[in-house]
């Protein structure tokens, strides 16, 4: 029961963060990471939050986690 409440609280906090237009995408991603760490108690990295806020169709998202920088790369082949 406690885990479910924590998930609901985290989801509500994510929605509030993502709906605030004054923040940059980087700020939103880092705020979501902080919410997941603090509200859900999940010591996660930032990859999922960066992808959720910054992904572009048909692009790879190259994330430098030491500097929190991203680059979109459309030159990668999508064929396997």
Number of domains within the chain: 1
Enclosing domain of residue 30 = 2-55
User: Does residue 27 form part of some domain?
Assistant: yes
pLDDT of 11-69, one tens digit each?
666 677 667 667 788 888 888 888 888 887 888 888 888 888 888 888 888 888 888 88
What pLDDT is recorded for position 65? 81
Decide if 43 contacts 27 (C-beta within 8 A).
no
* Residue 48 included in any domain: yes
The model's pTM is 0.63
Q: Does 64 reside within a domain?
A: no
Q: Is residue 7 part of a domain?
A: yes
Which active-site residues does the annotation give? 48
Question: Residue 76 class from Cβ within 10 Å (0-12 exposed, 13-18 middle, 19+ buried)?
Answer: exposed
């Amino acid at each position: 029961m406690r885990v479910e409440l924590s998930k609901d609280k985290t989801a509500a906090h994510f929605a509030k963060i993502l709906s605030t237009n004054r923040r940059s995408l980087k700020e939103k991603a880092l705020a979501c990471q902080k919410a997941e760490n603090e509200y859900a108690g999940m010591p996660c990295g930032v990859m999922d939050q960066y992808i959720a806020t910054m992904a572009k169709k048909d692009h790879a998202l190259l994330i430098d986690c030491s500097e929190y920088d991203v680059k979109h790369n459309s030159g990668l082949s999508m064929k396997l």
